[in-house]
Amino acid sequence: MSEIENTPEPTEPKSYIKTGFLTPRFLKFGVVGASGVVVNMGGLYVFKEFAGIPYFIASLIAIELSILSNFTINLLWTWRDRSGQGSVWTKLLRYHIGAGATAFLGNYLILIALTELFGMHYMISNLIGIAVGTLANYIINDLWTFRKHS
């Protein structure tokens, strides 16, 4: 059995208080998330600075690229032990709903607010927005997208 299989499985959001987040699965999620930050930030920069797309449109494209990238890596690595449970298409739809909600609420709205209301550089605003949605995104994915089937 792997370390992940031996780690207690939270069954609802409040159970993370008991089990904590420093589990092998959460650490993998963090590595995948870091790669997603690179995809998101790199995409945002390239689309804005080189393609001339306004940052508020470029961000949506960059978010989608990072969602697809993170889904693929999370499916194949972070939740590999659950990858055979349920269809890939259902997981992708759930991932888009969960990650889309946290990306829109955590990332996109904060990006716009910090940039437009406070004059912060769009790249810094984006990074702050990404950070805000991370824990919610993990919980949604662990309990819903890649949930353990009994």
pLDDT in tens, 28-55: 989 999 999 999 999 999 999 999 999 9
Confidence band of 62 (pLDDT split at 50, 70, 90):
very high
d(CA 41, CA 121): 13
How large is the average pLDDT for residues 15-30?
75
Burial of 54 (0-12, 13-18, 19+ CB in 10 A): exposed
Q: Report phi then psi at 149, rounded to 5.
A: -95, 135
